[in-house]
Amino acid sequence: MKRKTVTDLAHNLLLSNINKESVIVDATAGNGHDTLFLAQHVKHVHAFDIQLQAINNSKELTKDYSNITFHHTSFENITKITPYYDGVIFNLGYLPGSDKQIKTNYHTTIQTLDKLHEKKMGFIEIVAYPGHIEGFIESVAIQSWLDKNKIKYRVIKLPFDTKNEPPFIFYWNYKDWKENFSVFLCISIVYYTVPWYISSVQYTVVRRLSLWIHNLKKVLLNFVF
């Protein structure tokens, strides 16, 4: 039986977040395997890569699909080029079988995450490769960035991976964040308005009662004298 890879894990996670109406950004098209998977399951894919060779390889692999727009540019331009999306996936590192010097780096990755965080739209899935030094620095930078921004994220790893620093996935969803925020807002509104309402009702009751007693006293006094 074929052993599951981190890509299988990433694709399984994607399946629970996408449907035939989804618009998804593949931030790092590479050889097009993720772009192909997405094109088979969603309405539209925006695929980015800084290397022309990667764009061409991806185009070749996905030539039977017409629901992909390729962008030969850095993923730093995602928010400028694609104003709407349901999710963004990153598969960090270098193009397999090509120049290993051209790879993602923590500086542009964090800058891009900052821009996506401003939009707070959809989910973000990042496959990180800490097995090489730049990949290790990049994954530590992402984790610190997530903690600094108080983002609730999940780290998903393959069970029983015996490698020293096996690849893993960062995942978070701004939809959950927005839902949690709405629940928090509702609870806060109830928490602050209900006691105020109760106290104002109590105030009215007490005031009416004291007025009533006052009037009764006057009537009784009139009656007696």
Ligand X SMILES: C[S@@+](CC[C@H](N)C(=O)[O-])C[C@H]1O[C@@H](n2cnc3c(N)ncnc32)[C@H](O)[C@@H]1O
What residue ranges bind ligand X (CB under 6 A)? 27-34, 48-51, 54, 74-75, 91, 93-95, 102-104, 108
Quote the least distance from Cβ 151 to ligand X, whole Å.
21
Considering beta carbons, is residue 32 or 122 the nearer one to ligand X?
32
Q: Which residue is nearest to ligand X (CB)?
A: 30
Q: What Cα–Cα distance (Å) separates residue 108 from each residue in 11, 57, 68, 111? A: 24, 23, 24, 5
Residue number, 22 or 31, with CB nearest to ligand X: 31
Of the candidates 70, 82, 65, 144, which has an alpha carbon nearest to the alpha carbon of residue 110? 144
- Residue by residue, DSSP assigns 7-50 as HHHHHHHHHTT--TT-EEEES--TTSHHHHHHHHHSSEEEEE-S
Q: How far is the CB of 24 from ligand X (least distance, A)?
A: 12
Q: Which is nearer to ligand X, 27 or 169 (CB)?
A: 27
Residue (51 or 143) nearer to ligand X, CB: 51
Report the distance separating Cα 82 and Cα 25, nearest Å. Answer: 8
- Name the β-bridge partners of 68: 45
Rounded least distance, CB 74 to ligand X, Å: 4
Nearer Cβ to ligand X, position 51 or 177? 51
Minimum distance, C-beta of residue 134 to ligand X, in the bound complex (Å): 11
Query: Cα–Cα distance between 194 and 198 in angstroms, integer?
Result: 6
User: How many other C-beta atoms are found inside a 10 Å radius of the C-beta of residue 34?
Assistant: 26
Beta carbon of residue 46, minimum distance to ligand X (angstroms, whole number): 12
Q: Specify the residue, 107 or 218, whose C-beta has the smaller distance to ligand X.
A: 107
Tokens of 69: 């727009």
Neighbours of 42 (CB within 10 A): 21
Alpha carbons 212 and 45: distance in angstroms, whole number: 72
- How near is the Cβ of 132 to ligand X at its closest, in Å? 12
